Amino acid sequence: MRRKSLVSGLLYLLILMVVGYMAYYIYVAISTPFETTEAVLYTAEEIVSIKGYFFRDEIPVPAGSGPVQQILLSDGEKVHKGQVLSVSYDSEEDMRIHQQLAWYRELLSLLNEAISDENIVDIERVDRNISLHLESLVYGVENPKSVDLKQEIINLKTQVLKRGLAFSNTGREKVSAEISRLTSEIRRLSAAAESGVASVISPVSGYFSRAVDGFEGILTIEKSNTLTLAQFNELELLRVKEGLNAYCGRLATDYKWRFAASVPVEYAALLSKGDIVKLRFTGDYIGEIKVPVLRIDEEGSDSCLVIFSGNTLTSELLSLRYQSADIVMSTYEGIRIPKQALRINDEGKTGVYCIVAMQAKFVETEQIYELDHHYIVSYDPKAKGGLRPGDEIIVSSKNLYDGKIVQ
């Protein structure tokens, strides 16, 4: 009897130990849930936000004196000296007639050119020309001083018309009829239209913008060369605030510009004259431009004046004056990992545990940048081993070691 009681006691003790062991691991699993994440490529940037002024050589353009004014230019358009910038009319109806005449004349010119092409059935040639003009337009949008955008648009319209004619059996007859109709309409409208008067003639060549802010002729390229931080902080006081409605726009006489901004000293110390940095504008114009650092003014205890030099010209940039921007100080490319996934193994090496064939495997990493909740670790696609995109990283688990069964 005593032997049976002893065996039963030992059996109960063994059961209690097994149950306790299982309860412990269930508790650990519940209190420390197993969590993984995928290793992904990531690019992080260290930026500093600034605000500054654009400096250009520009002049305000007076508005015309007629009762109804039509500005003939769009923002960013190149202007030649002596070019008509606006025309005055006696009434809105007279201006509407002239606008209709201009459109009819352009369309008539397109149709005449399209129908005069004897090789219009050469579809491959027409399609090739359409592609070339589209490429030229895209390039011209980015480099407006290198391409005549208006002419490229006309050329593209002509080629599209030619393509339509090539696929139509009665295309030439229809175009001829349309040419006759347009010719008659042009005669009728010309007889009804009063003569418009050129009210504004461009005194110089340059680039037109309808924006006028009172800094024209004040924030010049020459002014930026000697500007100090103290003067920068008082620039708003120089702005002319009255009589701006007497102007219809402004002319930038050169495509060059300067952007002056107050930069915190700790970031200005990382910049040097001649450095090429990215300026990412974040206000009225959303865009990124690479520019050189032209000058750094040493004045000020908390901030420094930094002058950037640019020659990128777009219609949006041309209309800007006071603008918010980010300086991209550094760029870090690597693999992003959660901070809680980073561990130190028994050898004192830093890295993460990944799941490989249902087992934990330690992978050494090198942190190159810290975010709020993640690290960016280095990644070399040519290196053997190491952490790679797509690896399954163990984020939360206890008692990890190489070879531990985790799934």
Q: Does pLDDT of 314 surpass 90?
A: no
Give, as one character, the DSSP assignment of residue 263: E
* % of the chain surpassing 90 pLDDT: 42
Q: Does pLDDT of 350 surpass 90?
A: yes
* pTM for the structure as a whole: 0.67
- 231 and 188 in a single domain? The answer is no
- 114 and 53 in a single domain? The answer is no
- CA 33 vs CA 217, 294, 374, 392, 396: distances in Å: 67, 55, 20, 16, 7
Count of domains observed in the chain: 2
Q: How many CA atoms lie within 13 A of 161 on its CB side?
A: 21
Q: Does pLDDT of 182 surpass 70?
A: yes
Between residues 394 and 123, which one has the greater pLDDT?
A: 394
pLDDT attached to residue 35? 87
**pLDDT mean over 138-163:** 62
Q: Does pLDDT of 136 surpass 60?
A: yes
126: in domain:
yes
- 120 and 229 in a single domain? The answer is no
310: in domain:
yes
Length in residues, the chain: 407
- 116 and 155 in a single domain? The answer is yes
Segment 238-276, tens digit of pLDDT = 999 998 988 989 999 998 999 999 999 999 999 999 999
Tell me, rounded to whole angstroms, the distance of Cα 182 from its chain centroid: 43
pLDDT attached to residue 81? 92
200: in domain:
no
- CA 383 vs CA 62, 364, 380: distances in Å: 65, 13, 5
pLDDT attached to residue 94? 75
Q: Please report the beta strands in 94-190, taking only residues with DSSP state E, as ranges in sequence order.
A: none
- 258 and 301 in a single domain? The answer is yes
pLDDT attached to residue 209? 92
pLDDT attached to residue 58? 95
Segment 8-67, tens digit of pLDDT = 666 666 666 655 666 555 555 445 567 899 999 999 999 999 999 999 999 999 887 777
pLDDT attached to residue 189? 72
- 259 and 329 in a single domain? The answer is yes
- 277 and 170 in a single domain? The answer is no
- 111 and 164 in a single domain? The answer is yes
Q: How many CA atoms lie within 13 A of 332 on its CB side?
A: 18
pLDDT attached to residue 324? 93
Question: 129 pLDDT band (50/70/90 cuts)?
Answer: low
pLDDT attached to residue 257? 96
325: in domain:
yes
User: Among 281, 313, 333, which residue terminates a domain?
Assistant: 333
The answer to whether the beta carbons of residues 110 and 161 sit under 8 Å apart is yes
- CA 66 vs CA 63, 90, 98, 100, 116: distances in Å: 9, 7, 15, 20, 41
CATH code of the domain covering residue 218: 2.40.30
Q: What is the mean pLDDT of the chain?
A: 81
**pLDDT mean over 100-107:** 75
- 160 and 231 in a single domain? The answer is no
User: Among 333, 357, 386, which residue terminates a domain?
Assistant: 333
Of 183-197, 254-268, 279-293, 327-341, the poorest mean pLDDT is in 183-197
Range of the domain at 302: 49-60+214-333
* % of the chain surpassing 70 pLDDT: 73
Question: 371 pLDDT band (50/70/90 cuts)?
Answer: very high
- 55 and 103 in a single domain? The answer is no
Q: Does pLDDT of 146 surpass 60?
A: no
Residue 367 phi/psi, 5° resolution?
-75, 135
> CA torsion angle for 28, 401, 384, 339 (degrees, to 10)?
40
- 282 and 183 in a single domain? The answer is no
323: in domain:
yes
- 100 and 155 in a single domain? The answer is yes
308: in domain:
yes
Between residues 54 and 397, which one has the greater pLDDT?
A: 54
Segment 278-297, tens digit of pLDDT = 999 887 777 789 999 999 98
Q: Does pLDDT of 395 surpass 60?
A: yes
148: in domain:
yes
pLDDT attached to residue 285? 72
In terms of Cβ atoms closer than 10 Å to its own Cβ (0-12, 13-18, 19+), residue 383 is: exposed
Question: 323 pLDDT band (50/70/90 cuts)?
Answer: very high
14: in domain:
no
pLDDT attached to residue 208? 93
User: Among 164, 193, 222, which residue terminates a domain?
Assistant: 193
